[in-house]
Amino acid sequence: MATRNISAMQGGSGRGRVKWVLLALALLLVAAIIYALPAMRAYSQTGAAYSARVVCSCRYIGGRGLDDCEKDLEPGMEIVSLSEAGNAKRIDATVPLMASESAEYRQGWGCVLMTEKEREAVR
Protein backbone atom coordinates (compact mmCIF):
# COMPACT_ATOMS: atom_id res chain seq x y z
CA MET A 1 0.00 0.00 0.00
CA ALA A 2 2.75 2.43 0.92
CA THR A 3 4.50 1.63 -2.34
CA ARG A 4 1.46 2.69 -4.31
CA ASN A 5 1.28 6.06 -2.57
CA ILE A 6 4.94 6.85 -3.24
CA SER A 7 4.67 5.96 -6.91
CA ALA A 8 1.50 8.01 -7.20
CA MET A 9 3.28 11.01 -5.70
CA GLN A 10 6.15 10.68 -8.18
CA GLY A 11 3.81 10.66 -11.11
CA GLY A 12 4.60 7.09 -12.03
CA SER A 13 7.24 8.04 -14.62
CA GLY A 14 10.88 9.00 -14.66
CA ARG A 15 10.36 12.20 -16.69
CA GLY A 16 10.45 14.42 -13.63
CA ARG A 17 13.60 12.74 -12.40
CA VAL A 18 15.31 13.17 -15.78
CA LYS A 19 14.49 16.89 -15.79
CA TRP A 20 16.04 17.32 -12.33
CA VAL A 21 19.16 15.39 -13.33
CA LEU A 22 19.56 17.50 -16.47
CA LEU A 23 19.06 20.68 -14.46
CA ALA A 24 21.67 19.57 -11.93
CA LEU A 25 24.14 18.75 -14.71
CA ALA A 26 23.55 22.14 -16.34
CA LEU A 27 24.16 23.90 -13.02
CA LEU A 28 27.36 21.91 -12.48
CA LEU A 29 28.56 22.85 -15.96
CA VAL A 30 27.89 26.55 -15.34
CA ALA A 31 29.67 26.36 -11.97
CA ALA A 32 32.68 24.65 -13.58
CA ILE A 33 32.91 27.33 -16.26
CA ILE A 34 32.70 30.12 -13.68
CA TYR A 35 35.36 28.39 -11.58
CA ALA A 36 37.72 27.90 -14.54
CA LEU A 37 37.21 31.32 -16.15
CA PRO A 38 40.01 33.19 -14.30
CA ALA A 39 42.54 30.49 -15.18
CA MET A 40 41.36 30.44 -18.81
CA ARG A 41 41.78 34.23 -19.00
CA ALA A 42 45.29 34.03 -17.54
CA TYR A 43 46.32 31.31 -20.00
CA SER A 44 44.79 33.29 -22.86
CA GLN A 45 46.65 36.44 -21.83
CA THR A 46 49.93 34.53 -21.64
CA GLY A 47 49.33 32.87 -25.01
CA ALA A 48 48.48 36.17 -26.69
CA ALA A 49 51.57 37.87 -25.22
CA TYR A 50 53.81 34.96 -26.24
CA SER A 51 52.42 34.95 -29.77
CA ALA A 52 52.75 38.71 -30.21
CA ARG A 53 56.35 38.73 -28.97
CA VAL A 54 57.52 35.72 -31.00
CA VAL A 55 55.87 36.84 -34.23
CA CYS A 56 57.09 40.44 -33.77
CA SER A 57 60.67 39.21 -33.40
CA CYS A 58 60.33 36.89 -36.36
CA ARG A 59 58.77 39.58 -38.55
CA TYR A 60 60.80 42.68 -37.75
CA ILE A 61 64.12 41.24 -36.56
CA GLY A 62 64.17 38.09 -38.70
CA GLY A 63 62.65 39.83 -41.72
CA ARG A 64 60.23 36.98 -42.51
CA GLY A 65 56.63 37.28 -43.64
CA LEU A 66 53.72 37.14 -41.17
CA ASP A 67 52.39 33.86 -42.60
CA ASP A 68 55.83 32.28 -42.32
CA CYS A 69 56.22 33.52 -38.72
CA GLU A 70 52.92 31.94 -37.68
CA LYS A 71 54.49 28.55 -38.36
CA ASP A 72 56.91 29.14 -35.46
CA LEU A 73 54.11 29.10 -32.88
CA GLU A 74 53.59 26.07 -30.68
CA PRO A 75 50.86 23.52 -31.48
CA GLY A 76 47.57 24.57 -29.92
CA MET A 77 48.15 28.28 -30.57
CA GLU A 78 45.92 28.27 -33.65
CA ILE A 79 43.17 30.02 -31.68
CA VAL A 80 45.34 33.17 -31.44
CA SER A 81 44.62 35.53 -34.33
CA LEU A 82 47.44 37.81 -35.43
CA SER A 83 47.40 41.11 -37.27
CA GLU A 84 50.14 43.47 -38.35
CA ALA A 85 50.31 47.25 -38.17
CA GLY A 86 53.14 47.54 -40.68
CA ASN A 87 53.90 51.25 -40.51
CA ALA A 88 53.98 51.08 -36.68
CA LYS A 89 56.01 47.83 -36.67
CA ARG A 90 53.51 46.29 -34.29
CA ILE A 91 51.92 42.84 -34.03
CA ASP A 92 48.52 42.46 -32.36
CA ALA A 93 47.55 39.03 -31.00
CA THR A 94 44.01 38.25 -29.88
CA VAL A 95 42.32 35.27 -28.28
CA PRO A 96 38.63 35.82 -29.10
CA LEU A 97 36.53 37.00 -26.13
CA MET A 98 39.44 36.46 -23.71
CA ALA A 99 42.64 38.46 -24.22
CA SER A 100 44.54 40.84 -26.45
CA GLU A 101 48.23 41.78 -26.47
CA SER A 102 50.54 43.79 -28.70
CA ALA A 103 54.28 43.73 -29.28
CA GLU A 104 56.13 46.57 -30.94
CA TYR A 105 59.59 46.72 -32.48
CA ARG A 106 61.71 49.46 -30.87
CA GLN A 107 65.14 50.30 -32.25
CA GLY A 108 67.82 49.23 -29.79
CA TRP A 109 65.34 47.26 -27.64
CA GLY A 110 63.97 44.72 -30.09
CA CYS A 111 60.35 43.61 -29.75
CA VAL A 112 58.69 44.54 -26.47
CA LEU A 113 55.20 43.96 -25.16
CA MET A 114 53.15 47.13 -24.94
CA THR A 115 51.46 48.18 -21.72
CA GLU A 116 47.69 48.54 -21.61
CA LYS A 117 47.99 52.35 -21.68
CA GLU A 118 50.24 52.21 -24.74
CA ARG A 119 47.79 49.90 -26.54
CA GLU A 120 44.83 52.17 -25.76
CA ALA A 121 46.73 55.26 -26.94
CA VAL A 122 47.44 53.60 -30.29
CA ARG A 123 43.84 52.49 -30.89
How far apart are the C-alpha atoms of 95 and 1, rounded to whole Å?
Answer: 62
Q: What is the pLDDT of residue 6?
A: 55
Q: Which residues contact 10 (CB under 8 A, 6 or more apart)?
A: 16, 17
Of 40, 36, 15, nearest to 97 by C-alpha is 40
Phi, psi of 14 (to 5 degrees): -90, 5
Q: What is the pLDDT of residue 95?
A: 95
User: pTM score, two decimals?
Assistant: 0.73
pLDDT band at residue 5 using 50, 70 and 90 as cut-offs: low
Neighbours of 8 (CB within 10 A): 9
How far apart are the C-alpha atoms of 69 and 74, rounded to whole Å?
Answer: 11
